[in-house]
Amino acid sequence: MKKTASDLVWLLMGLTGSAPCTLACENGELTLTLLEGGALHREQLRDLENVAHVPDLSDRVERGERVELFRAPIVSVRAAYPWYSFGAGCNLVVGGTRYRLSFLQPQNTLTRDESISGLANTAQSIAGGRARGKAWRQRLRVDAERAS
């Protein structure tokens, strides 16, 4: 029986670059798929293309394609949870490449209306992001233990 977990996360690059992705775990493999360019500028997309070793990533994103950044056995992925993310983010290292992820939607990706309406839900979204971060931390540890 397939065991699948999938969640919306944001890839973080630099101080203000971010893009929505799906993080999925299925049958002992972890995948990260870029959904769109988000708040990443073209140079950041080119940098991502180089470090993720994904040919034509920036062009594919501009054409509206979803791009798989990695697919790796869970046992080969190193995960770290920096204190400054307060449980709502993690760093994954896959094949020597570090991916900074947030389980909270960065403010620079919200429209003005979303920002205004979201002010009332800030505490709830922070709690939700922390809960999703905690769930992934547990999921990655359990799946890595099962696979080894």
Q: What is the pLDDT of residues 87-140, one digit of tens each?
A: 899 999 999 999 999 998 887 665 444 544 454 455 558 888 899 999 999 888
How is the beta sheet containing 4-13 ordered, strand by strand?
67-73, 29-34, 17-26, 4-13, 97-102, 89-94, 78-80
Q: What is the pLDDT of residues 30-87, one digit of tens each?
A: 999 999 999 899 999 999 999 999 999 999 999 999 999 999 999 999 999 998 889 8
The continuous run of DSSP H or E covering 47 comes out as helix 42-52
Q: What is the pTM of this model?
A: 0.85
SS3 147: helix
Supply the range of the domain harboring residue 60: 4-147
Residue 21's identity, in one-letter code, is C
Bridge partners, residue 78, by sequence:
93
How many folded domains does the chain comprise? 1
CATH number (domain holding residue 122) = 2.30.29.30
SS3 64: coil
